[in-house]
Amino acid sequence: MKDYMVKDINLAEGGEKRIEWAGGRMPVLSQIRDRYEREKPLENVNVVACLHVTVETANLILALRAGGAKIALTAANPLSTQDDVAAALASAGIKTYAFRGESDEDYYKCLNDALELNPDILLDDGGDTITAVHAAEKTQKIKGACEETTTGVIRHRARAKENKLAFPLIAVNDAETKMMFDNRYGTGQSTIHGVMNATNILLAGKVVVVAGYGWCGRGVALRAKGLGSNVVVVEINPRKALEAVMDGYRVMPMLEAAKIGDLFITATGDTSVIRGEHIALMQEGAILANTGHFNVEIKVNDLEELAVEKKEIKENVVEYRMKDGRKLYLLSEGRIVNLAAAYGHPPEVMDMSFANQALCVRYIVEHYEELRNEVYSVPKNIDEEVARLKLKSLGVEVEVLTEEQQKYLSSWDLGT
Ligand code: ADE
C-alpha cells in the first residue's frame, strides 16, 4: 500500500506555507507541540485521524507527531480536503489518504487504508471511523478515541447506551473551550463565508432561515444578523426556541419559514430538515445550504425528484428548475458548506478545539486502563487549562478572588 493518496504531491509547497500561517494563529496548540517535542508522551502510539484535512488539522497532526505518535490521516468529508495541505503532510512523511471530490467508494477506501496503521487511538469527526472499526471488529488494540463534532457524539452516545462501544471515548466536542467557540464563532463565520464564496449575495435585507439553535445555529444566526439579515429560526427544543425569541429572532416551523426564506441554512445534526413539502413552498431564487456534518439535512433526493432541470452554475452552486418555473439553488451538494465552499473554521478557534484533542490523546494514553467503554467528558482540568493558555496568549488577565471573597463564596451563614 502507498504511504499516501493525495490529489497532487506537487502542491506541497503552497500547503506548507499555509500550514505555517495558520500555526502562527494557534498559540495554545503551538505550546503543546513544544511541550510534546520535549516530553515525547506519545512514543509508540499509533493514531488514525479522520478529520477535515485543513491547515488547522495539519497543525494538530504535527503536534501529535512531535509527541512521538505515528499517524495516518483520512478525510472526514468527501469535499472538505484542502489538497495542498494533504500534499504537504504526505511529503512531510505523514500517511495521508485524502483528496477533494472523493466518491463514497474513495472515501471508504481512504479510511480503510488509514486503518492499516493498526491504531491505538482514533480521532474522529462525525463517527465514520469508529463505526468502521466496530463493523470490522477491529477494536481489540484500540485504547480509546476522541470525537470532534456534535453529530459524532450523538452516534457514540447511542452506541454506548446499548453497551456496544468497544473502547472509552472522549467527547471533545462537548468541552466548553470547544463548543462555545468553535461551534458558535467558527461555524458562524465560516458558514457565512462559504455562502458568500459560493454566491456573493448581499446578506443585508435577506430573510435567512437558520434551522437548529444549538451553538452552531446560534453562531450562524448571530453573524447573519450582524450583516443585516432578517433571521428566522426553526427549532424543535422549546428552551432553545425561547432563547432565539429573546435573542431577537422570529421563530416558526419550517412549513412557515419555507414560504419567506431567501437563504436556508441547516445546522441541526438531524436528517430531512428541509424536504419535499418545504421545497414545494419556497420562493423563486431561494438558496439552500447545510452546515451540519452530514449531507442528510436537506433532502437532496426530493429536490432532484421535484426538479425538471438541473444545471451547475459554478463550483458549489447547482440550479434546480421546478415544474412551475421556480429556480432553487443548492450549495455544495448539501454538504458542509463552510468546508466545501470556504476554509472551515478559522485557526484561532481550532486552536482551542485541537488543543483539547492533543491533550485528550495524551490523557487516554496515560489513563486508558482506568477508563470504561463509555463516553466521557473532557476532563475539567484540560478544558480549564486550554482556557487559561488561550487567555494568556491573548494577553488577558483575569481577576483573582481575595481571601474575604473566597470565604464569602464558600459560606452559607451570611445573609441580609
Ligand atoms: N471543522 C470545522 N472547521 C475546521 C477546520 N478549519 N479544520 C478542521 N476541522 C474543522
- pLDDT score for 1: 61
pLDDT, average across residues 204-225: 98
Q: Which three cell numbers stand for residue 162?
A: 446499548
* Closest atom, ligand 1, to C-alpha of 56: 7
Count Cβ atoms below 10 Å from residue 133 Cβ, excluding itself. 22
pLDDT computed for residue 416 by the predictor: 81
**How far, in Å, from the CA of 202 to the mean position of ligand 1?**
25
CATH of domain 184-340: 3.40.50.720
Q: Measured in angstroms, how far is the CA atom of residue 189 from the centroid of ligand 1?
A: 12
Instruction: Please report the pLDDT score of residue 346 as a whole number.
Output: 98
| Cα separation, 225 vs 203, whole angstroms | 9
> For residue 346, which atom of ligand 1 is closest to its CA?
6
- CA–centroid distance, 410 to ligand 1, in Å, is 41
Tell me if domain 4-178+345-393 and domain 184-340 are identical in fold: yes
What integer pLDDT is reported at residue 61 of this predicted model?
A: 98
Gap from CA of 252 to ligand 1 centroid (Å): 30
Q: Does the pLDDT at position 414 exceed 90? A: no
Ligand 1 centroid–CA 57 distance in Å is: 7
Each residue's pLDDT tens digit, 26-76: 999 999 999 999 999 999 999 999 999 999 999 999 999 999 999 999 999
Distances (CA, A) of 175 to 38, 131, 183, 339: 26, 22, 11, 22
* Percent of residues, the chain, with pLDDT higher than 90: 98
If one residue of 21, 26, 29, 54 were mutated to test the ligand 1 pocket, choosing by the most ligand atoms within 8 A of its CB, it would be: 54
Instruction: Tell me what the mean pLDDT of segment 246-265 comes to.
Output: 98
Domain 4-178+345-393, what fold?
Rossmann fold (3.40.50)
Record the pTM: 0.94
Q: Distance from the CA of 113 to the center of ligand 1, in angstroms?
A: 22
Three-state SS for 360?
Answer: helix
Mutate to test the pocket of ligand 1, among 79, 80, 124, 179 (most ligand atoms within 8 A of CB): 80
Q: Which residues form the pocket of ligand 1, taking CB atoms under 6 Å from any ligand atom?
A: 51-52, 54, 56-57, 186, 339, 344-345, 350
For residue 314, pLDDT over 90 is answered with: yes
**Which of 19, 50, 57 has the most ligand 1 atoms within 8 A of CB, as the residue to mutate?**
57
Q: Domain residues of the chain, as ranges?
A: 4-178+345-393, 184-340
Q: Residue 204: CB partners within 8 Å, gap ≥ 6?
A: 227, 228, 229
- Condensed to tens digits (0 to 9), the pLDDT of residues 161-203 reads 999 999 999 999 999 999 999 999 999 999 999 999 999 999 9
Give the SS3 label for residue 334.
helix
- Residue to substitute in 215, 339, 352, 357 for testing ligand 1 pocket (most ligand atoms within 8 angstroms of CB): 339
Which pLDDT score, from 0 to 100, does residue 221 have? 98
Residues 220-224: what's their mean pLDDT? 98
CB 15, CB 87: distance < 8 Å = yes
* Amino acid, single-letter form, for residue 40: K
